[in-house]
Amino acid sequence: MMDFQLYGLFRLKFIMLEEEKKSSKKIILSYLARAGLFLLELVKVAVLAGITIAFVRYFLFKPFYVKGASMEPNFFDKEYLIIDELSYRLRPPQRGEVIVFKYPENPKEFFLKRIIGLPGEGVKVSDGKVTIYNKEHPEGVVLNEPYLPKDLLTAGDRPRVQLNGSQYFVLGDNRSNSFDSRRFGAINKDLVIGRVFFRGWPFNRAAIISEPELNI
């Protein structure tokens, strides 16, 4: 009788241990399943974030590193800019906007300049001033450029240049030290990458770049 009771107790203990093992396995499997789902969500988030960043990087905004002094005193060497590539897919470039474009003679090089003349206009540089000829000003009007120092003159006299329907005349803000349309001529619209939207570095000069108010 005693042996039967002991057997029963051992059997019960064995069953309880087996149930505990099964319960532990279920708990472990449950944790593993939750961990797997969590990792899967992390992968999904990482993939979506990567796609979003790639989309923004290649289709909407692009970083640009300033090299040289041609846009001083408004943009300095080694400043970090963000280029808006979307706006010009929705509207044409505007006068006074600072743009990044491919150098006409070597599309692998990128330049930073300001739009001065628009498609269909005439542009002349003489006596330190820029004159614009268009339908509103057939006799020409001297361009007021509030983004330049008041005493700054535009060097390098150039006869009137007539732009076709897809060309832009661009100049650097540092008029005495800029390689621009005075040298290589007007640029075609298809060379324009986008407009400067934001200056991110240095932090003390971080700012959204707005369009200047011009007299024409």
Give me the active site residues, please: 70, 113
Beta-carbon contacts of 101 under 8 Å, excluding residues fewer than 6 positions away, are 110, 111, 113, 170, 187, 191, 192, 193
Beta-carbon contacts of 215 under 8 Å, excluding residues fewer than 6 positions away, are 141, 143, 144
Identity (one letter) of the amino acid at 97? E
Phi-psi region of 66 (alpha: psi -120 to 50; beta: other; left: phi over 0): beta
Q: In angstroms, rounded to a whole number, what is the distance separating the alpha carbons of residues 23 and 136?
A: 86
In the chain, the N- to C-terminal Cα span, in Å, equals 113
Half-sphere exposure of 36 (CA within 13 A, CB side): 6
Range 161-180 burial, b when 16+ CB lie within 10 A, else e: bebeeebbbbbbbbbeebeb
What the block records as the tokens of 15 is: 């069953």
